[in-house]
């Protein structure tokens, strides 16, 4: 079999076979097929597309290109959650302890932030001493003993995805639905869960800018999961404005803790209850998603979910006391207010621009080597539909470097649009794909 024949076949719009997909994935991982040939194939896929069978076959080949975690030593139905990424998306910090507090084992792999979206691991490292660098044995033991563990993705998990994504990133072939779906699902399936709940973001701060694209991606990923024998569903949620009111690592942790105390923003709470109800239902802990939601609400009101977060932080090297005293988390030294020029309503917030403003403060990475400032961030005092009086604070920036704060302030100012007339915010939950 020759790689040039596979490139030509896809260039001409024909479907690739399992043997051809396995050949190029295995050859690329082993270093036997050069970047320039795989780049040519990715561009052919970008323009000619892949049908559903090809997408499933590509996912399977990437999934089996390296280690597949065996979680059979963990008792119970293991449910994982994945978000396609957004601004202010601290969902995992609320969702995982909430679900684990009901006896559902949560064995999750998470990543770091890059660009305008934050990463769960960075946020968790706001707890001094906390580490996701744990062994597979520790990972499994923590899930069996306290019901929850989160670790970073190992280099041996779906290595084909890492190689392909790096190549797609520099050859302008990222934005293809089949390649995106196979990239996400190969990693999720390799992580060994019995069920997967997906949060597919749609809007200005998301990878999928339109609802149509978000639904298409959700359907592809759910189909891949079911084909692999893993129970899978997706929630399409709004990212036309940031989730919650805090953006920035330690600030998002504080907001997550507030939510577990029953005092957080309604949109964050609602999204976590929606996602969590499917996780609990999938695991057989409730007879319906409605019953699961009620159990989750009880977990919040009783404090069980908050206590579970403290146990989890303690088990991975942090101080559980910081969960009950979030004032111990990193805090910035300076703050600047963005105020309203006139009486008005917030008509829109460009999520991506808010994320970039946080990055400029030092709260994100331009490259994987960058060191982030966990203390900086932005609080959105006003969101879409909120009324503002002249001189009233619309948003507050927290930082440690005046020049960075000036640059971030201008970016944040440009993210907000205002109207003289009342405006309604869009729906948070745009749809569900089961």
Same domain, 316 and 352: no
Residue 245, pLDDT > 90, answer yes
Reply yes or no on whether the pLDDT at 113 is more than 70. no
Kindly state the average pLDDT of the residues 36-55: 96
Domain-located, residue 434? no
Same domain, 121 and 267: yes
Residue 221 lies in a domain: yes
On whether both 261 and 162 belong to a single domain, the answer is: yes
- Per the structure, the complete domain to which residue 17 belongs is given by 3-49
Residues 283 and 315 in one domain: yes
> The CATH number of the domain where 41 resides is what?
1.20.970.10
Q: 3-state SS of the chain?
A: CCHHHHHHHHHCCCCCCHHHHHHHHHHHHCCCCCHHHHHHHHHHHHHHCCCHHHHHHHHHHHHCCCECCCCCCCCCCCEEEEECCCCCCCHHHHHHHHHHCCCCCEEEEECCCECCECCHHHHHCCCCCCCCCCCHHHHHHHHHHHCEEEEECCCCECHHHHHHHHHHHHCCCCCCHHHHHHHHHHHHHHCCCCEEEEEEEECCCCCECCHHHHHHHHHHHHHHHHHCCCEEEEEEEECCCCCCCEECHHHHHHHHHHHHCCCCCHHHHHHHHHHHHHHHHHCCCCCCHHHHHHHHHHHHHHCHHHHHHHHHHHHCCCCCHHHHCHHHCCCCCEEEEEECCCCEEEEEECHHHHHHHHHHHHHCCCCCCCCCCCCCEEEECCCCCCEECCCCEEEEEEECCHHHHHHHHHHHHHHEEEECCCCCCCCCEEEEEC
Please determine, for residue 90, whether its predicted confidence score (pLDDT) is greater than 80.
yes
Among 287, 308, 326, the domain boundary falls at 326
pLDDT at 46: 96
Instruction: Flag whether 133 is in a domain.
Output: yes
Higher pLDDT, 414 or 175: 414
Same-domain check for residues 353 and 414: yes
Please indicate, yes or no, whether residues 224 and 90 belong to a single structural domain of this protein: yes
Instruction: Tell me what pLDDT residue 155 has.
Output: 74
Q: Indicate whether 295 belongs to any domain.
A: yes
Task: Give the mean pLDDT of 46-65.
Answer: 96
Lowest mean pLDDT of 11-20, 181-190, 306-315, name the range: 181-190
Condensed to tens digits (0 to 9), the pLDDT of residues 122-143 reads 899 999 999 998 888 999 999 9
State mean pLDDT over 367-395.
92
Mean pLDDT for the chain overall: 94
Whether 114 has a pLDDT exceeding 60, the answer reads no
- pLDDT at residue 246, rounded to an integer: 97
Assess whether 221 and 349 both reside in one domain.
no
407 in a domain, yes or no?
yes
Question: What pLDDT, on the 0 to 100 scale, is given for residue 118?
Answer: 66
In a shared domain, residues 154 and 84 = yes
Name the residues annotated as catalytic: 82, 161, 168, 183, 187
Total number of domains in the chain: 3
- 163 in the same domain as 143: yes
Residues 121 and 260 occupy one common structural domain: yes
pLDDT in tens, 179-228: 999 999 999 999 899 999 999 999 988 889 999 999 999 999 999 999 99
**230, 376: one domain:** no
- Look at residue 58 and tell me if it is in a domain: no
For the segment 144-169, the average pLDDT, to the nearest whole number, is 88
Residue 365 and residue 314 share a domain = no
**CATH code of the domain covering residue 259:** 3.40.1030.10
């Amino acid at each position: 079999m020759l790689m040039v024949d596979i490139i030509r076949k896809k260039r001409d719009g024909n479907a690739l076979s399992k043997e051809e997909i396995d050949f190029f994935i295995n050859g690329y991982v082993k270093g036997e097929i050069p970047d320039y040939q795989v780049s040519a194939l990715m561009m052919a896929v970008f323009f000619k597309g892949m049908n559903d069978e090809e997408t499933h076959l590509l996912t399977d080949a990437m999934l089996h290109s390296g280690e597949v975690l065996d979680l059979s030593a963990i008792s119970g139905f293991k449910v994982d959650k994945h978000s396609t990424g957004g601004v202010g998306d601290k969902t995992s910090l609320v969702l995982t302890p909430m679900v684990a507090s009901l006896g559902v084992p949560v064995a999750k792999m998470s990543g770091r932030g890059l660009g305008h979206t934050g990463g769960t691991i960075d946020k968790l490292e706001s707890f001094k001493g906390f580490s996701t660098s744990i062994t597979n044995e520790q990972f499994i033991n923590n899930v069996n003993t306290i019901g929850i563990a989160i670790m970073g993705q190992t280099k041996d998990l779906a290595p084909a995805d890492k190689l392909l994504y790096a190549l797609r990133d520099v050859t302008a072939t990222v934005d293809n639905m089949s390649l995106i779906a196979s990239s996400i699902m190969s990693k999720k399936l390799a992580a060994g869960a019995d069920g997967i709940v997906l949060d597919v973001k749609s809007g200005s701060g998301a990878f999928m800018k339109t609802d149509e694209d978000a639904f298409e991606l959700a359907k592809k990923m759910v189909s891949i999961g079911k084909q692999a024998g893993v129970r899978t569903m997706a929630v399409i949620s709004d990212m036309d404005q940031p989730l919650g009111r805090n953006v920035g690592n330690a600030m998002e942790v504080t907001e997550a803790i507030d939510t577990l105390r029953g005092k957080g923003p309604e949109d964050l709470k609602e999204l976590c209850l929606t996602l969590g109800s499917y996780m609990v239902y999938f695991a057989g802990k409730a007879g319906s998603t409605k019953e699961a939601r009620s159990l989750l609400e009880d977990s919040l009101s009783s404090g069980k979910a908050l206590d579970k977060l403290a146990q989890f932080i303690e088990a991975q090297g942090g101080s559980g006391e910081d969960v009950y005293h979030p004032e111990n988390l990193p805090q910035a030294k300076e703050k600047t207010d963005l105020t309203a020029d006139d009486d008005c309503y917030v008509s829109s917030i460009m999520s991506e621009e808010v994320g970039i403003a946080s990055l400029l403060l030092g709260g994100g990475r331009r490259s994987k080597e960058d060191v982030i400032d966990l203390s900086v961030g932005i609080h959105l005092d006003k969101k879409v539909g909120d009324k503002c009086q002249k001189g009233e604070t619309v948003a507050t920036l927290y930082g440690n470097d005046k020049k960075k704060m000036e640059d971030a302030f201008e970016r944040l100012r440009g993210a907000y649009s205002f109207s003289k007339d009342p405006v309604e915010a869009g729906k948070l939950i745009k749809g569900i794909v089961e």
